[in-house]
């Protein structure tokens, strides 16, 4: 099965539209979302409605859980908290209904799906090889997909009882293709709506479970439009400015 994997949309409508246009050109059989439909951006209802129509499997991210009331907004820093409070006030009932049943973890086609990590599906940012080694040890599945860090990257470790020192991890530039047929893998597609790896383009991943490959993609989108929407909504300007730097 060919699956497009997206994550961390964060209410960025221009980025989501650009990614889905790119995805459709590849004609996958399904689209999976690893969570954080809302937060930071200015179009939570539109993004959630589009995801609801386009996506086959969807997780809840920590921002989704905060907005629906499962987690106290006090856990968020200033700009994230401001965006969450604004989102709670403005979203419609359809968005609330879509978010309500979503979970931060799941499994499909034998692949683990986690918003953040196999050890902590809600909060853990997997950005170091040591962290990834522990997650690879903990996950039940040989291959797992994670989001949350907003960084397109991957980690792998030989099957069996290989020492932690044999775990590797790398950032994933566009067009990087992984051969997943052997070893254990933890793969992050990067963020649609707020990349943090220095590349402001929206990110997504094409996964082929038949050939056991995964290819990273980046898409140009009108960052100016997304930033203007954030400012016009009265959200912190920092959330708009960081989109231009991919940070």
Query: Tens of pLDDT along 169-214?
Result: 999 999 999 999 999 999 999 999 999 999 999 999 999 999 999 9
Mean pLDDT of the chain: 96
CA-CA distance, 246 to 233, in Å (whole number)?
A: 21
The answer to whether the CB of 202 falls within 8 A of the CB of 161 is: no
163, pLDDT greater than 70: no
Q: How many CA atoms lie within 13 A of 66 on its CB side?
A: 26
Range of the domain at 147: 2-245
Which CATH number characterizes residue 82's domain?
3.60.21.10
Sign, CA dihedral 184-115-37-174, equals negative
DSSP calls for 74-131: GGS-HHHHHHHHHHHHH--HHHHHHHTT--SEEEETTEEEESS-SS-TTT----SHHH
Dig out the tokens for 112 from the structure: 């683990």
pTM here?
0.96
Give the number of domains in the chain. Answer: 1
**Strand positions, DSSP E, the chain:** 2-6, 30-33, 57-58, 105-108, 111-114, 143-146, 153-157, 168-171, 177-179, 184-188, 202-208, 213-219
Lowest mean pLDDT among 11-20, 153-162, 177-186, 223-232: 153-162
Helix (H) / strand (E) element for 209: namely none
Model confidence pLDDT, tens digit, residues 64-122: 999 999 999 988 988 999 999 999 999 999 999 999 999 999 999 999 999 999 999 99
């Amino acid at each position: 099965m060919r699956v497009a994997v997206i994550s961390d949309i964060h209410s960025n409508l221009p980025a989501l539209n650009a990614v889905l246009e790119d995805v459709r050109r590849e004609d996958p059989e399904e689209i999976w979302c690893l969570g954080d439909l809302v937060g930071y951006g200015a179009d939570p209802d539109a993004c959630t409605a589009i995801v609801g129509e386009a996506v086959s499997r969807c997780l809840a991210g920590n921002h989704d859980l905060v907005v629906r009331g499962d987690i106290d907004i006090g856990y968020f820093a200033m700009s994230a908290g401001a965006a969450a409070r604004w989102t709670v006030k403005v979203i419609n009932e359809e968005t609330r209904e879509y978010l309500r049943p979503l979970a931060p973890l799941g499994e499909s086609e034998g692949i683990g799906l986690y918003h953040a990590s196999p050890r902590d599906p809600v909060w853990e940012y997997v950005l170091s090889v040591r962290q990834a080694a522990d997650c690879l040890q903990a996950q039940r599945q040989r291959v797992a997909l994670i989001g949350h860090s907003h960084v397109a990257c991957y980690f792998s470790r030989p099957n069996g009882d290989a020492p932690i020192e044999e775990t590797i991890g790398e950032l994933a530039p566009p067009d990087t293709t992984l051969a997943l047929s052997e070893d254990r893998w933890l793969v992050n597609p990067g963020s649609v709506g707020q990349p943090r790896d220095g590349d402001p383009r929206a990110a997504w991943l094409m996964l082929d479970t038949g050939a056991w490959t995964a290819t990273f993609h980046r898409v140009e989108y009108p960052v100016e439009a997304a930033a203007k929407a954030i400012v016009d909504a009265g959200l912190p300007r920092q959330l708009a400015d960081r989109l231009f730097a991919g940070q």
